Amino acid sequence: MIIDNIINKIYTLPAASLELLKAQLHLVHYPKGTLLLKANIIEESMYFLSKGIARAFATVGDDEVTFYFGQEGDFIFSINTYIAGQKSYESFELLEPCELYEINVAHLKELYEIDVHLANWGRKFAEQELLRTEQRLIAMQCKTAQERYHDLLENEPELLQRVQLGHIASYLGISQVSLSRIRADRR
């Protein structure tokens, strides 16, 4: 995905502001299986995902609980580091070979200080992430597993082709056996 499109899907920037932001980005490539961000670290970078897919997960006991999938056009970052400057609680694993644009979080925040358009972009970015988090929380608390699976099929059907079913089940908050039953019932 073209970086201009990734950036402007949040908030359309004037050309000069867009170029200012792009000047801070570095194109990087990582193989499948890379742990891009790790829990319990103050992460210095965030990423714009141009090609590939990633998942965010937290380790609970011996289990990994997946709670986010990022695809082309999405962002990979620790919101705890981005907002509060504190250690991340999640790790991000690349599920495919990925092409990403990396930016240092401190440099991004410096841009917010010198360019009002970029500051507005940052506000819109944080607002969209808040909405996404709220929607996920409400779905996990108020919808059945079948409803969450239906929402996934309706809104992100390509995930089922690109992501292991174990990660999908974890994301839905169910076991793989329950996911198999739900899938069988839909046929």
- In this prediction, residue 74 has a pLDDT band, given cuts at 50, 70 and 90, of very high
The answer to whether residue 176 sits within a structural domain is no
Contact 20, 111 (CB under 8 A): yes
How confident is the prediction for the chain on average, in pLDDT? 95
User: Is 51 contained in some domain?
Assistant: yes
pLDDT of residue 180: 92
The pLDDT tens digits for 24-48 are 999 999 999 999 999 999 999 999 9
Residue 167 lies in a domain: no
Tell me, yes or no, whether 76 lies in a domain: yes
We report the CATH number of the domain holding residue 105 as 2.60.120.10
**Alpha-carbon span 182 to 67, nearest angstrom:** 19
Contacts 24+ apart (CB under 8 A), 145-150: 145/172, 145/173, 145/174, 145/178, 145/182, 146/182, 146/185, 148/172, 148/173, 149/179, 149/182, 149/183, 149/186
Tell me whether residue 161 is in a domain. no
Kindly state whether residue 148 falls inside one of the protein's structural domains: no
pLDDT, residue 107, reads 96
Task: Count the domains in the chain.
Answer: 1
User: Percent of the chain having pLDDT more than 90?
Assistant: 97
Residue 157 lies in a domain: no
Q: Identify the pLDDT of residue 1.
A: 84
105: closest CA among 71, 129, 81? Answer: 81
Tell me which residue range forms the domain holding 117: 3-142
User: Is residue 166 assigned to a domain?
Assistant: no
Amino acid at residue number 174: I
Region 81-89: mean pLDDT is 92
Q: Is residue 183 over pLDDT 80?
A: yes
